[in-house]
Structure 1
Amino acid sequence: MSWSSCPFCSQQVLSTELERHANNHFEDEDLAKDFQLAKHYHDEDIPFDLPHHIAVSSSSTNCFYHCEAKHGFSSIMVMLKDCLECDNGTNTSILCGHVDHFQSVEFEDIGWGCGWRNIQMLTSHLVVQRQEAKEILFGGDGLVPDILSLQRWLEIAWEKGFDIAGANDFDQKIYGKKTWIGTTECAALFRSFGIRARIVDFSSASRLSTDVSGNKKRKSTPQVTTGPMDKYLNTTASTSTSNSKSINDNNFLGVKGSQLLANWVWSYFSKNNNNNDMSASIKPKPGCNRVVVTDKAPLYFQHDGHSRTIVGIQLKSLPNGMHQHSLLILDPAHKTKVLESCLSKKVGWQRYIKRGVHTLKKSDYQMCYVDHGIATEEEMEKLKILDSTRFEF
């Protein structure tokens, strides 16, 4: 039986009851006080000792209780690195450094909270791997906010003028709502701190039509989608929360289908923070597996009805001389303990984490990624209007 001290009253309570007990210190009607707490919680001297994958996120309480971010290479990523080094075949894998897994919690956010959990995973990387980001994110304490706190911070971002169109879609309010979010909300939240969050959009060419001027445009009646993607896909350029711009890159010309997405992910992770391509130096070596730890942040990976976090990519050498990509993904829908068990035993982890190109069957995907550095004051104004780079399958 494990006991923990309440960070608000110092009472010793069962660890399994700590979240409920802590939440009872807050009253639902005290919203104004909580709003200020979301802005200034870092001034409070509060101890945190909950396991990192646990986050208070009850929509019926106003708790801004935060989990402590571990420093260094997170245990789940250490175990994943070990598994990749022992994987069958001759492979090269590129991994992020520190990323903690945040799972959706039963009776809390299952069915709607995946976007917030992915923001937590991305935050866990930034506050450990990037000192400049740690100093400005969520008060500068290096803590990963719970869902309710993130919702407050997003409202603050909207108040500052970030993604006004997206804010209007939510009537400027999202605190306490069990509402799906997507890449635009993730980008707006991070941009409000000066983090250079970008959006990239992968869309099937069959979903596009050509107007009289020869320009590609969205079909007026796209297939039905669920979740945050449909807001992006079903609005016109003049009202969309993201203004898309097409791009041509020689590295992707002639690549068809979802392989284009995999190539983009490989290119993203294989470039260092100076945008220098490291691909040539990290190709598979005969007879061994290589795992390279990059300085790149994980990717918020959105598709119809769900979102996950891409923490790396594997390139497998096939006997015929060809290569095969697999995305390495942490899914909020999976239990952290199950992932840790499979990884520690090196058994069955592949079905949870590895996703081959053949599994990417959706018509549209979006990603949110973070560039290095902090935006200047001039950049901040530009970052208020979200845009995206689009690749067509």
Structure 2
Amino acid sequence: MENQHLECPVCFRDNFNSSDALSNHVQTHFSDNETLAASSSARERNPGNQDRAPTIEEQLRERRNRISALRQPAAQSTSVKQKSQNSDQVLLDIDEFRMENDRQIALRLAREEEDLAFAKSLQEQDSVIIISDEEDATTSVNHHEDNFAASTSADSFASNSAMQMDVFQGKNADSGYTCTWGLISRISQILREDDRTETFLLADEFAHFASDPEDYGWSCGYRNAQMLISAMLSIPRCKEQWRARLGSCFVPSILYLQQLMQQAWNAGWDPQGNTEHRGEIIGSKNWLGPIDLYSMLMNLGIECQITFFVHATSREGPHPELFRWCQEHFANRSNRNVLPIYLQHAGHSRTIAGIEVMKNGGQNFIIFDPSTKKEKARNTTIGKGKWLGYHFRRSLSTVNKARYEVLHLTGNILTPAEIERCKQSSRSGVRGVRKVS
């Protein structure tokens, strides 16, 4: 029988016939100091195996332990600046080493290695944006002179650094570790200065949430939900409803999102969804879809709607009807906040932050993808205009799956009677509007 070849998780060479050969090769990607540190740690854990080189799994475990240690609250004598530099440097290391679930995404990121070098140089210059849990509950931001993260209007939710910090406070809140504020204002400036752009429409400011190394491959739905919630909390009535139901205004962690979804199912929402998750979503790696998020938000009194975009036949191809629908959504600014849109297709979900029409007639979506690394997102806010095309601008022709499910928040609050009526309706399946391209 033909031997199975092993693949390097860093450079994707796949001609290794044994785990020992692969392990030796992987070590060449890292510095001697890191290899020695990993070897030393492995020997301390296994004193009887002093001469054995650490396995790939042991090296990954060692790096995860280093990340976990850095995530612990720092001593008061430790500066936020030093903590931020150290933690981001280690995360750059683990991102380089991480084995991606989606090979296409991994190859795309590998082609952008020169940008990682730029990210490291920015950290050395103290210009990476870090949202910290210290310094009197205000956002600690190491500013580059061209940073537009705080340049939005005085009334903007994102411009209030204290409010940005508030959404990450509490035991059930996300840490904000992979969060980036200020992208909308920066993208808006880039598009205004782009001679190719005819017009563009963007959502109001909200945060980008990237998948973490610990949840990469299954968390895209949860990260998109966090993006929508960060936007929703800019609406006073939604913010007050959130506070009334959950006790405070915060962006939930993935675990707490799962708990909120289970509460919705236990209350009688979408029995089919509960069955599909086997009633065991809490603490699992189950994927989250727009219908699951619909049940969670509606149970909390936050109105949202589902729309399906399909082709007249089963073929794949662009969805001009989806673009027209998004264009109308982002253009409607009459006395209301403009919120982003949750976009789901088979195997992945993303968040639509806006649309762009080019002078040559081209049409683009502005998309926040959880698979975009936080380093890339943060560096876009400080002058890397070319990264707009790499990570956020997606042409209509690339949004070409056979079927898309869209969830959008209306900004309205449901009465108890409306919640009960919609819940009863969901028991026979959550319905949405169907549009054909």
Deviating more after overlay: 111-120 vs 348-357: 348-357
- 1:118-146 Cα deviation digits (max 9, x unpaired): 0000000011x211111222625221111
The answer to whether the 8 Å contact 1:326/1:357 transfers is yes
**CA apart distance, 1:3:** 8.5
Give the equivalent residue in structure 2 for 1:311: 353
Give the equivalent residue in structure 1 for 2:364: 326
Report the residue type matching 1:66 in the other structure. D
Q: Assess, with a 3 A threshold, how the Cα gap between structure 1 residues 201 and 48 changes in structure 2: closer, same or farther.
A: farther
Compare relative contact order (CA 8 Å, sep 6+) and give the higher one, 1 or 2.
1
The structure with the greater share of residues assigned to strand is: 1
Structure 2: runs of 5 or more not aligned: 1-68, 88-135, 141-163
Structure 1 stretches of 4+ moved >6 Å? 2-5, 9-13, 47-53
Report the residue type matching 2:358 in the other structure. K
Larger Rg computed on CA atoms: 2
Distance 2:220 2:396 in 1: 22
Q: Number of residue pairs matched?
A: 282
**CA apart distance, 1:65:** 4.4
- 1:71-96 Cα deviation digits (max 9, x unpaired): xx941222111111111224211111
**CA apart distance, 1:168:** 1.7
Distance 1:109 1:370 in 2: 26
The structure with the greater share of residues assigned to helix is: 2
Decide which of 385, 389, 410 is 1:371's aligned counterpart. Answer: 410
SS in 1 for 2:370: coil
Give the equivalent residue in structure 1 for 2:319: 258
**CA apart distance, 1:66:** 3.3
- 1:246-283 Cα deviation digits (max 9, x unpaired): xxxxxxxxxx9511111111111112356xxxxxxxxx
Distance 2:182 2:380 in 1: 13
Report the residue type matching 1:120 in the other structure. Q
Give the equivalent residue in structure 2 for 1:335: 373
**CA apart distance, 1:50:** 8.5
1:358 corresponds to 2:397? yes
The answer to whether the 8 Å contact 1:49/1:67 transfers is no
The answer to whether the 8 Å contact 1:50/1:68 transfers is no
The answer to whether the 8 Å contact 2:173/2:250 transfers is no
- 1:325-372 Cα deviation digits (max 9, x unpaired): 211001000112212323422223212111111112210111100112
Report the residue type matching 1:163 in the other structure. D
Give the equivalent residue in structure 2 for 1:383: 422
1:104 corresponds to 2:211? yes
Report the residue type matching 1:125 in the other structure. A
SS in 2 for 1:121: helix
Give the equivalent residue in structure 2 for 1:392: 436
Give the equivalent residue in structure 1 for 2:16: none
Distance 2:237 2:306 in 1: 21
TM-score by length of 2: 0.58
Structure 1: runs of 5 or more not aligned: 18-46, 57-62, 209-222, 224-255, 275-293
1:135 corresponds to 2:240? yes
Give the equivalent residue in structure 2 for 1:232: none
The answer to whether the 8 Å contact 2:232/2:411 transfers is no
SS in 1 for 2:194: coil
Give the equivalent residue in structure 2 for 1:198: 305
**CA apart distance, 1:162:** 1.6
Decide which of 329, 336, 360 is 1:268's aligned counterpart. Answer: 329
Give the equivalent residue in structure 2 for 1:66: 174
Report the residue type matching 1:76 in the other structure. L
